[in-house]
Each structure stands twice: as C-alpha cells, then as structure tokens.
Amino acid sequence: LYTAPDSCEGRCGEPFSEEDECHCHPECERHHNCCQDYERHCGPDGFSSSRDSIADQELLELSEQLYGVDHNKAQPSDIAINPQHRAGPDETGDQQDRSPQPLYKYVNEELFSKPTYASFIKLLDNYQRATGREEEVTAEELQEQDHFLEEVMKTELMKKLFAFLQGKNRYGSEQEFVQDLKEMWFGLYSRGDGERDSSGFEHVFSGEVKKGKVSGFHNWIRFYLLEKQGVVNYFSHNFNGPWDTYPDVLGLQFSWDGFYKEVGSAFIGCSPEFEFGLYTLCFLARPGRACHLSLGGHRLSIQTYPWTKSTYGSGRSFIATAYVMSP
C-alpha cells in the first residue's frame, strides 16, 4: 500500500525521474539502477503488475478532476486576503514583520458550518503543540476523528479518490481505505524522547512547536482562526500562486505566540477534504518525493515524507509531513 522510495512495490513501469533513489521501469536493468526488489515485484512473475503503478500523467489528470469537484471550496466573494509585503530570499529568515495588517481582511464564516469544515475545526484543539509532550487522546477526540472521516467520505472528491486507488488495487473496500486514513493521519508516534507526541494530522493541519520554531502548520483555516484570536501574526509572503480563484497557494512568514515560521505554505480557500485528499494521494503515490499535479491548468507539486522510525499494521508508514511546494 505504502510505496517506499527505495522499493518497487506498486511502482513497476513508473517513468524515470532523477529524483528517485532507484528505479522500476524496464530500462533500469540496462542502466543498473533498479531498486533491490525490482525482480521480486516487476519481474515476469512479480507481485505488482505495471498497471497498478500510478503514472505521472494519471496524477495530473486525477488532480484536475479533484480540483473540479471541490464543491465546498470558498468562492471569490467568501475570502479577501491582504498579502502586503513580498519577501525576497534574504528576508524570509530575519523575523521582521513587514506587513502591519492581518493577512485575512474577510472570511465568510458561513463556510465553517459546512459539515467537513465543522468536523475539521473540532479537531484543531485536540493537540498539545509542543513536541516531547505525550498526546492524551480522549474517547471524545476519537469520535471527532471518526466524524471527520465520515464527513469527508461523503464528498464527491474523496469518493473519486477512493475509486482511483481501488482501481489501482491499493484498497479492497471503502472501509479499508477509511481505516488506513485513520492510521496514517491520526496514528501517534514520537518526535520527542519516546512520548507519543505527534501525528501527521497534528503536524500538517494544526501545527507544532519544536526546538523553538513552528513546525508544520500548513492550513489556512487554522491560520485564520488563530489570527482572529490575535495569537498568529502575519509577517510577509514569498510566493503567491497564479490562481485567480480559490484554492490559491501562498508561501508565507509568520509568528505563532512568538515562535517563528520562516517559510510556510498553504492552500488558501480550499475545503478540508481537498487538502486531505491531495496530500493522501501524493503520500500513497510518491512518498518522500515531489508529487507533480495540475490544478486549473497550472502545475504545482506536493512534497510528503513518511515517518521512518515507527510503523503501523504490516510495516505501513505514518505521514511525517505533507505540504504544497512554493517554487
């Protein structure tokens, strides 16, 4: 299910990419750069058939389809942002607030009453942001996780993603898919000294503080809610995507209660299921590598990393991080 960057499982016939540690296309034998398990998975009697690998072109096509069915995204009239100062490469690290106004001028909070938004927002206060402090998960919090997964799976976007992954023999049933989403995103592991203090969801969507710096925190809804409370201070942006509607992409600098994020990136105005679905797709298709997608005719990439120090199930990996890359 999970495709390791140094394995050919699920990657037979995949096109050559310089970013890959090792290769699984038929030419790799001639070039002596196949992954060690190439023969086992991709040989004539191998486990994986090449039709189950996810080709670059399929990622471009599927991401456009998911973009087209993000029915819960913000409309242009729902959000007004004020990006202000554009930081040069030499400015992103100097922790200067060059934008006196907040990033968000206006958000139509009626969006937040939509079921996927409401169930997503409920999850955000379930975490201790400091790494090294054990997360205690209550029965209520587990119910909130289940409720969020239930709501996103009702959307056309997540149904389309599941149908694609099922067609690639990654999952046999929707129930299996939902169970795996729960483990890869909400399963706990240790970023600190052995305490189960982190999860993919906490890191990516809620944000953490590690060694005095903001870690993760790639979600626009979380940013807006904390900026409104006065605990997030927007400093500048270093990238503004080419989209003239939502979702858009912003690379940004900010502080959270005095802890600094030098370069964060976020989709602006997408639904929770859009981000959750795209990050999941890229984690399953291109873990540890750049995952090249297309949204509304514009290319972009998502980077994911698997957590390598512990696994769940039969050796599957938790999500360590996932974010949209700003060039």
The DSSP line for 96-115 is: -----S-SEEEE-GGGGGSH
Task: Write down the catalytic residue from 41, 203, 210, 292.
Answer: 203
Average pLDDT, the chain: 92
Q: Where are the alpha helices (DSSP H) in the chain?
A: 28-31, 38-42, 56-68, 115-123, 139-153, 156-167, 174-186, 200-201, 220-229, 272-285
Q: How many CB atoms lie within 10 A of CB 125?
A: 10
Task: Write down the catalytic residue from 25, 41, 261, 292.
Answer: 261
pLDDT tens across 177-227, in order? Answer: 999 999 999 999 998 777 899 999 999 999 999 989 999 999 999 999 999
Tell me: do 130 and 260 sit in the same domain: yes
CATH of the domain at 36: 4.10.410.20
Tell me: do 125 and 260 sit in the same domain: yes
Tell me: do 5 and 141 sit in the same domain: no
Domain that holds residue 310: 56-325
Mean pLDDT, to the nearest integer, of 261-282? 97
Res. 314: pLDDT tops 90: no
Last residue of one domain, picked from the residues 53, 71, 92: 53
Q: Residue 298 catalytic?
A: no
Task: Write down the catalytic residue from 25, 218, 237, 292.
Answer: 218
pLDDT tens across 4-41, in order? Answer: 778 888 788 888 888 888 888 888 877 888 888 887 78
286: which residues sit within 8 A by CB, 6+ positions away?
A: 3, 54, 59, 304
Q: Residue 228 catalytic?
A: no
| pTM for this model (two decimals) | 0.87
27 or 261: which leads in pLDDT: 261
Tell me: do 35 and 171 sit in the same domain: no
Q: Residue 32 catalytic?
A: no
